[in-house]
Structures are given as structure tokens and as C-alpha cells.
Amino acid sequence: MKPGSSSPAEIRLSAHVLTDNGVFPNNASCPLLVYPQALASAGPDPAALFEKRFTKNHWPAAWRNGAYGFHHYHSAAHEVLGVFSGSARVRFGGENGVVLEVKAGDVVVIPAGVSHKNLGASRDFGVVGAYPKGQRWDMQYGKPGERPAADARIARVDMPAADPVLGETGPLVPLWRKK
């Protein structure tokens, strides 16, 4: 694969359904989506490829940084993380959730309500974060009193218009149809 290129045939996908664990609502209707090695980035600004792709697919690039080392989730927006450098171990879904190793080139699409926590990262770990156009993120921590208001917000979050990696014909749209 050439740097910066990826066709749908070259992109793999894994999906993880994470259900309510009593502390974190997670999201039984929308699986966590992981695209390993979705975008091969090179050059002086490796994050730019992720920003361009996400923005083109209606997930305007919002920030560059790492990932928080504490459990949190967003009740008002879905989130996509594009790993442009380094690697990290990230737990999704709370204390008994799934732990994934993410590395440069990977993309993770996190549905509203799914908790995530950085368990440890390389010094050069960097991600581009984005949210679907029109959605505004919030921070929730699994603290007593957040729910049921957070649950109501999650239920109202619109489905994205497109998959942040593969656009309108990508797998996110059919996989995330509300049941």
C-alpha cells in the first residue's frame, strides 16, 4: 500500500459490541469499530492525512493529542480517533471491557456512551480526534448521578452521515442503524 492510500478492499474491520456495565452505558446498538492500518501516513505531517479523510467524510477534524488515562465517555457525540504516530493500549467499555493495542495507521470509531481509557502509550503516541458534523462532545466519567440524563442524550445522538474512513458507502452506516 502506498503511503496515504487505502482502498476499501485493503481495509479490514473489527467490531466490538459493548453493553451497559452499570457504570458506563456503552452502546449495544452501535459497535466499536476498529480499522487496523486503515491509513498509511508519511511525510512531515502524518496527522494531516487523517484530518483530510475525516473532514472529507463529514467528521471535521477537531484536535491532535493523545488519549486520556482515565475512563470517560461522550454522551452527546460519537468520536473517531486516527492514530498518526506511536502506539497505545486502550481499554474500551469500562473495567471489564476490551483492551486493544492501537498503533500508527489505525482508526477507532467510538460510539456515544462507550468509555475509553489509555492504559499506556509510547512517548510518540498521537491521535487525530473528530466528531460527526454538527455534534458537540461532552465529558462523562461514570460518576453517580450522570445517568439517566446521559442515557437520554445518547439515545438522541444522530447517526453519522458517513463512515469517517470509507465515506457514505462504508460499513459504519449499516452496522450502526438503530434497532
Segment 47-83, tens digit of pLDDT? 999 999 999 999 999 999 999 999 999 999 999 999 9
Domain 8-164 has CATH 3.30.230.10: no
pLDDT of residue 2: 37
d(CA 143, CA 88): 25
User: Mean per-residue pLDDT for 130-156?
Assistant: 96
Joined grid coordinates for residue 158: 444522530
pLDDT of residue 5: 46
Joined grid coordinates for residue 98: 476490551
How many CA atoms are closer than 13 Å to the CA of 48, on its beta-carbon side?
A: 7
Give the CA dihedral 101, 103, 109, 111, nearest 10 degrees.
Answer: 40
Which tens digits make up the pLDDT trace of 74-115? 999 999 999 999 999 999 999 999 999 999 999 999 999 999
Is pTM beyond 0.75? Reply is yes
DSSP state, residue 73: B
Measured in whole angstroms, the distance separating CA 158 from the mean position of its chain's CA atoms is 15
